[in-house]
Amino acid sequence: MKIEEVKSTVKTQRIAAHSHVKGLGLDEAGVPLQMASGLVGQKDAREAAGVVVDLIKSKKMSGRALLLAGPPGTGKTAIALAIAQELGNKVPFCPMVGSEVFSSEIKKTEVLMENFRRSIGLRIRETKEVYEGEVTELTPVETENPMGGYGKTISNVVIGLKTAKGTKQLKLDPSIYETLQREKVEVGDVIYIEANSGAVKRQGRSDNFATEFDLETEEYVPLPKGEVHKKKEVVQDVTLHDLDAANARPQGGQDVLSIVGQMMKPKKTEITDKLRTEINKIVNKYIDQGIAELVPGVLFIDEVHMLDLECFTYLHKSLESAIAPIVIFATNRGRCVIRGTDDIVSPHGIPLDLLDRLLIVRTKPYNMGEMEQIIRLRAQTEGLNVEDAAIQALSEIGSNTTLRYAVQLLTPANQTSKVNGRTQITKDDIMDVHSLFLDAKRSAKFLQEDNTKYML
């Protein structure tokens, strides 16, 4: 009998262009290492990004903007993603591309403002009256359906909660039972139920059940201390856009006309400035009272030269507002015409008044040694076995063409080596796929030679 191990495809499916980037790769003094955390070279740009990360963490960077400028394939997007990794998941990071603003559904400025608000977090700390403990009993009580028929309805649910100090049995409304089902709560889970709203939060599985299985996927939490009925500080992280969307959503009735009306409305609706102003007032009030804390995040706009004059003017105004995130732009353009104008030429296609308020970080082309390190890193990330001669050949190809083209040859070369019955990518595999797939320079050369054979 032949038995084969089935390999998981999850890892290979999730490898993207920047999956290897884990951070900026700085030492304790903030000095970049040559190769660390998935980044190679670009020491000046990485050191500058490290200073920006420190400013963001100390909340001294809000309302300011950074521009990553350099030729294609010099690590601009990688550095921006490394900044996001350094900040962690507690600081909002919202990436977008300049061309996203040109939507047929909503205004350009509305797209920008939505992403601005997604990049600003609000950490709300509330002291709530809750029932917390490990679930020891969960029994729905059924009664005859008052509307008649054969079915039964749940009149209430009895739940038992246990803490280190005692136990308590609660009789809950049937609507809370629906919430318990949605949260997939079962006996042995640690939960808390808000006394005022009836909201249920599943915190994890109790430590007492930690040895149930050999392999675990659950998060185990200790048995809560104190009484079942207590006051607890609850911390919630939301973005301003979450608040906008929640308050803009129409709260229609449950009758047929209301439901049909909600279905017929467009999926994407603009949030009014009036609503945002009201939400800002409430947010400021919470901040003054010490209930909430503003967490300015990062809005990353790649290919910023794709924005037009109207968008740049709006960005300039938005950066000066009291509630603004840190904005990081990236572009690979030199001097070019500002979109939305006919003859205004500016560095990077950005108006001079906005350019004047940016901190500009330059990324430089990689040398052959750095390309070799990056190619080795990508091969390791993709789980490919590549001989040294093949890495050297790819580095030479990358220096004559582009780094992106060289990295893209790895996967077809691996397929070629498999077809030829090898487990390691050789130099011959690299040269084979290099002859099969053209880079931009060779394609342009052939196009120029055979220009008359193509349609105009």
- Give per-residue pLDDT as tens, 60-102: 776 678 899 988 888 888 888 888 888 877 778 888 888 888 8
Residue 255 has pLDDT above 60, yes or no: no
| Span 275-281, average pLDDT | 85
User: Mean of the pLDDT values across residues 318-335?
Assistant: 86
Question: Minimal CA–CA distance to 17: which of 93, 80, 99?
Answer: 80
What's the average model confidence in pLDDT over 388-415?
89
The reported pLDDT for the residue numbered 257 is 41
Contacts of 57 (CB under 8 A, 6+ apart): 87
Work out the number of other CB atoms within 10 angstroms of the CB of residue 50: 22
For the 125-235 domain, the top CATH level (class) is mainly beta
The predicted pLDDT at position 114 comes to 87
What is the predicted pLDDT for the residue at 13?
43
Question: Average pLDDT, stretch 357-378?
Answer: 88
Q: How far apart are CA 382 and CA 393, in angstroms?
A: 19
What does DSSP assign to residue 167?
Answer: E
Determine the pLDDT at residue 16: 62
The SS3 assignment for 454 reads coil
**For residue 336, what is the enclosing H or E element?**
strand 335-337
| Confidence category of residue 147, pLDDT binned at 50, 70, 90 | low
Report the percent of the chain where pLDDT is more than 70. 87
Name all contacts of 412-421 with Cβ < 8 Å and 24+ positions apart: 412/436, 412/437, 414/382, 414/384
Mean predicted lDDT score pLDDT of the chain = 81
| 157 vs 126, more confident | 157
d(CA 355, CA 349): 10
CATH 1.10.8.60 residue ranges for the chain: 368-450
Give span(s): CATH 2.40.50.360, the chain.
125-235
Mean pLDDT of 164-176: 83
- Single out the residue of 331, 402, 409, 418 nearest to residue 368, CA to CA: 402
Would you state the pLDDT for residue 4?
Answer: 46
In angstroms, the first-to-last Cα distance of the chain is 62
- Tokens for 43? 């020491």
Residue 365: phi and psi, rounded to 5, are: -60, 145
Confidence of residue 231 (pLDDT cuts 50, 70, 90): confident
The CATH superfamily assigned to 35-122+274-362 is: P-loop containing nucleotide triphosphate hydrolases (3.40.50.300)
In which residue ranges of the chain is CATH 3.40.50.300 found?
Answer: 35-122+274-362
Say which residue, 207 or 397, is predicted with more confidence: 397
Residues 207-224, mean pLDDT to the nearest whole number: 68
In this model, does residue 23 exceed pLDDT 70?
A: yes
User: For residue 440, what pLDDT is reported?
Assistant: 86
pLDDT above 60: residue 15: no
Q: How far apart are CA 17 and CA 174, in angstroms?
A: 49
- CATH assignment of 368-450, among 1.25.60.10, 1.10.340.30, 1.10.8.60, 3.30.310.50: 1.10.8.60
d(CA 269, CA 294) in angstroms, rounded, equals 26
